[in-house]
Amino acid sequence: MRKVALFFCLFLFVCIYSINGWTASSPAISITGVVKQPFNVTSEDLHRFDTVSVRLDEITRDKNYHGAFNYLGVPLKTLLELASIQKEETDFSKLIDLAIVVRNKDGKQTILSWGEVFYRNPADIVIAVSATPIMPFRDCKNCHQPEVYERWYNPLKRQIGFPKLVVTKDFYTDRSLEDITNIEVVDLHPKMTVQKLSELFSPKFPLRAL
């Protein structure tokens, strides 16, 4: 009996250690908000999805260059469809007035409209799980001094925080967000009421001179 008890204790220890280790090494993203099925997804889970490859040349509004990378990731639209969007009872049942708020571990956030996620190419906005820098074809040392090429070369070696929201069609890449932890679907007008008239008639209307 003692051997059985010892074996059982060791088994529990290994299981707990494995679970804790998996959790620590696999940051999770929570999908919450106006959804039927909120869930958490880890980086390992994302690797099991069908992925797309997108390119992002990262230049922010302050005119700083952060490198050019090919990202591998899952379309944000795919994850939101798995969560199954569900609005509350309202007179306006369409989903076009919803917004998506993406937050990272540092409290920063990016806001996306429903239309740009669902009515554009799904590969325009992805949750990236890996990246490959786009390196020059030739060694810059052969034709330039370090002070010329290092400002462009060094960003290609930087550490990227995954999972990362990648928004490919923005002119500047400030909305792309690293180390994301939460994706929330938000209803901008949850209690909006609509007055339905028996006939389309207005007793008056304003005119404005041009």
The dihedral region occupied by 66, where left means phi > 0, alpha psi between -120 and 50, and beta the remainder, is alpha
pLDDT in tens, 18-32: 333 333 446 689 999
Instruction: Please tell me the total count of domains within the chain.
Output: 1
Confidence of residue 142 (pLDDT cuts 50, 70, 90): low
- How much of the chain is helix, strand and coil, in % rounded to 5? 30, 30, 40
Does 150 reside within a domain? yes
The enclosing domain of 115 has a CATH number of 3.90.420.10
pLDDT in tens, 62-79: 999 999 999 999 999 999
Q: Whole domain around residue 137: which residue ranges?
A: 26-187
pLDDT in tens, 119-131: 989 999 999 999 9
Does 206 reside within a domain? no
